[in-house]
Structure 1
Amino acid sequence: MGSHEHVIVYADGGSRGNPGVAGSGAVVYAADGRTVLRDIVYVVGKKATNNVAEYHGMLRGLEAARDLGARTVEVYMDSKLVVEQMSGRWKIKHPDMQKLALEARRVMDSFDAITFTWVPRAKNTVADALSNKAMDAAAAGAKPGIVGGTETADDSEIVASAGAQVGTPAHWTGATARPTRFVLLRHGQTAMSAAKQYSGHSNPELTELGLEQARAAARTLRDRGGIDVIVSSPLTRCLQTAEAAAEELGLQVEVVDKLIEQDFGAWEGKTFDEAHALDPRLHDEWLADPSLAPPGGESLQKLHNRVRSVRRDLQERYAGQTVLVVSHVSPIKSFVRQAIDAGPHVVARMFLDLASLSVVEFFGDAGARVGSSLRVFNDTAHLRSSR
């Protein structure tokens, strides 16, 4: 991720009807005030006020500044209300704006210093134009979330715009249609994961830490926006993680049985060393050969085949949308393996943390030179406050 110690943010928002279809725009400049580091087109919704839209513009700009590694930030807006309220000089009475201001202050905690300054509308034309693009998109039926902007985001920042066109690799894949994006979320901690035991079809619940990890991931997904669908493994640890996200996103969870973890058979509940001690030769061969299964269990290749069928089905049903997939280590690694079109040897070389986020994209466009890509792998920035 690129780092810019000082950035300048211009933000705006608008509503056609006040309340009505609403959108916001933000542009982030380098310290020179000329170099554009990021611009963001964000759909607020079908029925929101001008002020709420302006708050969203400011918040999207702050998030981009944080993701760029800024330590000091200057924010310029033509909304006297937002500038005075965020500067602490005016009280915030509207409940929606109170919530957005609270989210903004959480982002602001990552900066060493920040200032808010009012400018006349004539000096905020870029952000104003972006907000109008967002309102056009909202009027055309786009769902709330980032719907456009520059392609300057590093791959490690794509989670920050999980539902967006921002940073998509269409310019080099040759694709003309929007990809289907899968945001892959591993479940939070369980007692078995804490004990480093093989946990396939066992059904433990999340620990208290696991629940907080799930909530932390959910808050991040809520703040970023863009998720259209949530699907989950049927096991409790994933359902609890998925429900945390569903509560924040206002979506339902679709259970997909084939997203279940690999069946470890006789090794279920054993640690790595304990499973190895049962049959050292078989355990070593299993690690090297994806066609082998644990005694009474499932081979890695069989798992890969079933997860591939799930991915294809989801891509067909939710073409061009962003799907949150809540699952386990092995199915998530299978999604990644498919995205990079690699053999089974890559699986043992990947490490996935609990409650981590990864992002892959698949292009259904027949004209695409590259059919898929890995955008983010094992992101855990949202867990820093949960550790």
Structure 2
Amino acid sequence: MAARFIVEADGGSRGNPGPAGYGAVVRDGDTGQLVAEAAEFIGHATNNVAEYRGLIAGLRAARELDPDASVDVRMDSKLVVEQMSGRWKIKHPDMQPLAAEARTVFPRGRVTYTWIPRERNKDADRLANEAMDAGRDGRQWEPRKPAGAVDAGAALAAEPPLEKSAPKVGWAAPADLGTPTTFVLLRHGETPLTPQKRFSGSGGTDPELSDKGRWQAERAAEALAARGSVQAIVASPMRRTRQTAEIVAARLGLDVRYEEGLREVDFGAWEGLTFAEVQERYPDDLSAWLGSAKARPTGSSESFTTLTHRAGVARDRILARYPGQTVLVVSHVSPIKTLVRLALGAPPDSMYRMELSAASICAVQYYADGNASLRLLNDGSHLR
């Protein structure tokens, strides 16, 4: 009789994209006993790529044990489970060949996909982190124990029945995902450069709030106090964000924690110029910048690609520090747009299609399965 296996797989990226790795375990489908495990550091990649690579490795490990087996794949990645189950389309070009490869390991109909909460995917998550640690140290992952050394049958038998479909996120998140972590994203109030629409990044003069900017920050503080949900405040260390955060913190009775990753991007030689002035003085720069997230203005140390990396790292640090809490994140146009873009899974050029007014509020919720939901964008009702 053909075997029945359970494959648990996971992947991660420290930076998203960043140094990435995957982990997978294969269990006997009847006893829950661990029969195989796999992990690998895969270099620079996204979370989703790493998750798919973990899936493929787990399926291959199961096939090596019995090519005629049936397999129940269990993952905490809603994206992979829904896409491989055929309920979601696979639009991203990096995902399409990986999904196609996963489908070739076993014949159609012999693999099922089940979403599980992250806390029930700990072994695969541990292996993925071991692989990333190994990559950080300049080596590849090696197993610590022979396959079969861990008997998880009793633990599996005690677990509640698995959900057979991925949870819905957004406006109706299920209770088994727990309380999401909410980022209330507040852009700083106006500076003297804001109404003139001049580039003002981390490489410029670091201007203060104008009188109007302070008024805007006070109105934001009143609105946030009325909502009554903010439990922590994290801000960019630049002057205008510090001042905005301090005004809100004084109203809410909270302290401010500063995060370097929330700084505005460095605009180099464009600092202090209007868009029209940049177009006149640096036309090639501007054309390249509008055409590629990897392009940098003359004299700048950063592109939107590098901003994405550091903003993602900052996001993950905040999520780790404040799980299940509502955090006010006081930052700038580019970092906030980046966090919104990442939450939506939108392409880099989507940043050029977002409007974020001074002292406007956005909100993103992050769930236990790694997904995010945009709840609010560019809300300025408190300023009217």
Q: Is the 8 A contact 2:188 2:332 kept in 1?
A: yes
Equivalence for 1:177: 178
Shift of 1:279: 2.1
Of the three residues 335, 341, 347, the one matched with 1:331 is: 335
Aligned counterpart, 1:249: 252
Matches within 5 A, 1:158-173: 169=170, 171=172
Distance in 1, Cα, partners of 2:292 & 2:177: 39
Q: Which runs of 5+ in 2 are unaligned?
A: 1-168
The match for 1:189 is: 190
- TM-score of the two chains, using structure 1 as the length reference: 0.53
Q: CA deviation at 1:169?
A: 3.3
Question: How far does residue 260 in structure 1 lie from its aligned partner after superposition?
Answer: 0.5
Residues 350-386 of structure 1 deviation map (CA, whole Å, 9 limit, x = unaligned) = 01000000000111236xxxx11100000000001xx
1:196-345 aligned within 5 A: 196-201=197-202, 202=204, 203-297=206-300, 298-345=302-349
Cα-to-partner distance string for 1:298-357 (whole Å, 9 max, x where unaligned): 101110110001001111111100110000000000110111111202110101000000
1:255-280 CA distance string (max 9 Å, x none): 11111001000111111011111121
Q: What SS does structure 1 have at the residue aligned with 2:172?
A: helix
Q: 1:17-73 deviations in whole A, cap 9, x for unaligned?
A: xxxxxxxxxxxxxxxxxxxxxxxxxxxxxxxxxxxxxxxxxxxxxxxxxxxxxxxxx
* Matched residue SS, 2:378: strand
Match of 1:100 in 2: none
1:40 corresponds in structure 2 to: none
8 Å Cα contact 1:175/1:363 also seen in 2: no
Work out whether residues 285 and 296 of structure 2, in 8 Å CA contact, stay in contact via their aligned partners in 1.
no
Partner SS, residue 206 of structure 1: coil
User: What is the Cα deviation at residue 282 of structure 1?
Assistant: 2.2
SS for the counterpart of 2:184 is strand
Over the aligned positions, Cα root-mean-square deviation in angstroms equals 1.7
- Partner AA of 2:372 in structure 1: S
Tell me the SS of whatever aligns to 1:274: helix
For residues 131-177 of structure 1, the C-alpha deviation after alignment (integer angstroms, 9 at most, x for no partner) is: xxxxxxxxxxxxxxxxxxxxxxxxxxxxxxxxxxxxx8373568521
- Separation in 1, partners of 2:228, 2:183: 14
1:47-196 alignment runs, 5 A limit:
169=170, 171=172, 176-196=177-197
Taking the aligned partners of 1:338 and 1:173, their CA distance within structure 2 comes to 22
CA contact 2:363–2:375 (8 Å) conserved in 1? yes
Render the CA deviation track for 1:194-241: whole Å, top value 9, x for unaligned: 221100023111110000000000000011101011011111111111
Unmatched 5+ stretches in structure 1: 1-167
What letter is aligned with 1:198?
F
Counterpart amino acid of residue 374 in structure 1? L
CA contact (8 A) 2:294 2:305 kept: yes
Once the two structures are aligned, what percentage of the paired residues are identical?
45
Of the two, which has the highest radius of gyration? 2
Contact conserved, 1:177 with 1:365, CA < 8 A, in 2? Answer: no
CA contact (8 A) 2:285 2:298 kept: no
Looking at structure 1, the residues matched to 261 and 275 of structure 2 have their Cα atoms a distance apart, in angstroms, of 25
Q: Across the two proteins, how many residue pairs are aligned to each other? A: 214
When structure 1 is superposed on structure 2, of 170-179 and 371-380 the one drifting more is 170-179
- What secondary structure is seen at the aligned counterpart in 1 of 2:193? helix
Structure 1 Cα separation of the partners of residues 175 and 342 of structure 2: 19
Scaled by the length of structure 2, the TM-score of the pair is 0.54
Maintained 8 Å contact 1:170/1:176: no
Amino acid paired to 1:339: A
Q: Which runs of 4+ in 1 moved over 3 A?
A: 168-175
Given candidates 359, 364, 370, the residue that maps to 2:368 is 364
Distance 2:285 2:247 in 1: 39
